[in-house]
Every structure is written in structure tokens, then in C-alpha cells.
Structure 1
């Protein structure tokens, strides 16, 4: 990996099993370019407005974390 990566992983993902998520986290945990956030009690699409899976609090947290990450890695052109 040569560029920073942010991952938002939900606890109850219907498409990515918990064992696959654990493998991803284990494989990337020591990489300083990777930031992984886990969201407990939410499912796939938790940040998609209008989805039955939408969870406002988790979605806003993921958005804020993403904007901070982008500003950190792309510079001042990103509005937080």
C-alpha cells in the first residue's frame, strides 16, 4: 500500500462476514497508512440516507471521520 486508506466497517454487514472483516483488520492492523473504524450495531448501508439501514449518529460520525482524514491527507482544500 502506497497511499492512505480509510475503512468504515459495520458490525452487522450482510455482505462482508465477520470472519472476512476480522481477516481484513488483522491483515492491515500494522500498516500505518490504514485507518479502520468499526461501527457497532449497524448494518451495511448505515450511512446511506433513505436506506432502512440508515443510522444517523453512526453516519455523522463516519462522515466527520472521513472529512478529517481527507483534510489530513489532502490538505487545506478540503472543507470540514
Structure 2
């Protein structure tokens, strides 16, 4: 049984290109990325780019935060900004 993420990807590919031959893989890939974003997923590198790590260090949320809240905020902040620093 496919996972929900696999279902999202499969549906995106199926909906992107109905042709039998000469499939447009670029169109399919764009459809997959769009479907993932709509489902609140983002494709990011396994390791954060150096520029993002430096930026995140300078933008650590201030104030008293529970460790879980700090980690959640940092994760969200880094994922939302990875494209700016992935070079």
C-alpha cells in the first residue's frame, strides 16, 4: 500500500501528462513539486547549505522558548529559507 506521499506524487504525475508516448518529464516534475507544496511538503537538501546555517545562527528566535518550540521554529525557518542559500 503506497504512503500518502507516494499517492501525492503518483497522482501529480498522472494528472500532469496524459500522453502515451513522448511524456514531458519536466512537466511531470513541476507537477510533483507543486503537488508536494500544496500538501505542505518541501524538497530540501539533506544537509543545510553553509549560507543557511550562518543566516539561521544570526536569526535564532529570542526569548524563553521550550526546546521543542525552538526546534520547531528553527526547522520551519530553515526549510522556508533553504532556496535562498542553496547555491
TM-score norm. by structure 1 comes to: 0.28
Greater helix share, structure number: 2
TM-score norm. by structure 2 comes to: 0.27
The structure with the larger Rg is 2
